[in-house]
């Protein structure tokens, strides 16, 4: 099933059960009085993080979620049962917005996160609640309160160890397919990747999650192209592997991507970055050395090279990626 990183859903908590209007009817109890019980509380709608989910595809066809209503009260002062809560499972790093996207209600960024997003209505009152010194036989009872209901917008921000970024057709999908078992769409034209893809690189006992993100173009920070749908995923990548086509103007291409990241969120520029000059087989060794020198003049980070269409060449950068992640983890520990 295709990757889905946004979904609109409707949630409705259960309504409270109705209170009962009843009177004692026993042979030897004169003036038995009211004995109608209260209604039960409606069930809540609870959003919770579920391990193993990495997409919102579950909401492609089912978009309405309603918890169970509370049960009505009954005679002999018996209260109605509460409605069962409804649990809606979402992947980790799902953000919950109001339907108009103005307010973010919660960010589900921890493995055990759970939140009551819609509260069930309270149960109605039975007539036993209205008994008083002036009204010994009340026939009044109330309906249950309505449960909360709302439309929500779910947005998933992928979390990965390494995020692949660059201009369209830089070779991100080709590289991911070469070093992992991810089956991504590959073509010799821009925007072959329209949705993010995840791949797992296994090195010994280590597993690195790599995200192939849609290509970025100029003015993406203003929503051009895939715009914010690309940039939002960069926020949750631990590290960035910036892939640049070595046959093109590497400095200009590098600056375009970095500028869009700056305009969208300056914090993205502080993420550890590794530059990969791809398609090294399309230029001579002398040209490649010149390109490396050019990119190093504007970027203060490590520069590596490969040809992603050559599996052996692609695997040649695996050790660099492993050390890249290990060094970043050590830096985060030392800073904490």
Q: Could you tell me how far CA 224 lies from the centroid of its own chain?
A: 22
170 is in an annotated binding site: yes
300 is in an annotated binding site: no
308 is in an annotated binding site: yes
Distance CA 178, CA 308 (A): 7
171 is in an annotated binding site: yes
Sign of torsion, CA 230 232 233 235? positive
169 is in an annotated binding site: yes
Q: Is 17 in contact with 124 (CB distance < 8 Å)?
A: yes
180 is in an annotated binding site: no
213 is in an annotated binding site: yes
Q: Which of the 8 DSSP states describes residue 216?
A: P
88 is in an annotated binding site: no
194 is in an annotated binding site: yes
214 is in an annotated binding site: yes
167 is in an annotated binding site: yes
Q: Is 122 in contact with 148 (CB distance < 8 Å)?
A: no
166 is in an annotated binding site: yes
Distance CA 181, CA 171 (A): 16
279 is in an annotated binding site: yes
336 is in an annotated binding site: no
Total H helices, total E strands in the chain: 6, 14
- Mention every residue, 6+ apart, whose C-beta is less than 8 A from residue 330: none
| SS3 (DSSP) at 313 | helix
DSSP string, 103-147: -EEEEE-STT-EEEEEPPPPPPPPGGGG--SS-SS-----PPPPP
319 is in an annotated binding site: no
195 is in an annotated binding site: yes
> From the annotation, which residues make up the binding site for GTP?
166-173, 191-195, 212-215, 278-281, 307-309
> From the annotation, which residues make up the binding site?
166-173, 191-195, 212-215, 278-281, 307-309
> From the annotation, which residues make up the binding site for Mg(2+)?
173, 193
């Amino acid at each position: 099933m295709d990757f889905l990183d946004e979904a609109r859903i409707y949630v409705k908590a259960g309504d409270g059960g109705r209170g009962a209007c009843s009177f004692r009817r026993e042979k030897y109890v004169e003036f038995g009085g009211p004995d109608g019980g209260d209604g039960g509380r409606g069930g809540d709608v609870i959003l919770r993080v579920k391990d193993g989910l990495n997409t919102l595809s579950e909401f492609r066809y089912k978009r309405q979620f309603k918890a169970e209503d509370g049960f009505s009260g009954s005679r002999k002062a018996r209260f109605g049962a509460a409605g069962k809560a409804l649990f809606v499972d979402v992947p980790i790093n799902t953000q919950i917005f109001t339907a108009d996207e103005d307010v973010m209600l919660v960010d589900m960024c921890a493995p055990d996160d759970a939140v009551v997003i819609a509260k069930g209505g309270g149960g109605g009152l039975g007539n036993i609640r209205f008994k008083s010194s002036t009204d010994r036989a009340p026939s009044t009872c109330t309906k249950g309160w309505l449960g909360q209901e709302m439309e929500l917008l779910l947005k998933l921000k992928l979390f990965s160890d390494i995020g692949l970024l660059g201009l369209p057709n830089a070779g991100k999908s080709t590289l991911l397919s070469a070093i992992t078992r991810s089956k991504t769409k590959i073509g010799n034209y821009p925007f072959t990747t329209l949705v993010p893809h995840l791949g797992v690189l296994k090195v010994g006992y280590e597993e690195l999650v790599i995200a192939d993100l849609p290509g970025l173009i100029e003015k993406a920070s203003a929503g051009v192209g895939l715009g914010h749908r690309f940039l939002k995923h960069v926020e949750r990548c631990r590290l960035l592997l910036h892939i640049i086509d070595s046959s093109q103007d590497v400095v200009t291409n590098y600056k375009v991507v970095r500028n869009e990241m700056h305009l969208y969120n300056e914090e993205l520029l502080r993420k550890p970055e590794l530059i990969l000059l791809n398609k090294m087989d399309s230029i001579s060794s002398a040209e490649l050395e010149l390109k490396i020198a050019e990119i190093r003049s504007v970027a203060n980070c490590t520069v590596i090279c490969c040809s992603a269409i050559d599996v052996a060449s692609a695997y040649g950068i695996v050790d660099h990626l492993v050390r890249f992640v290990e060094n970043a983890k050590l830096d985060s520990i030392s800073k904490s």
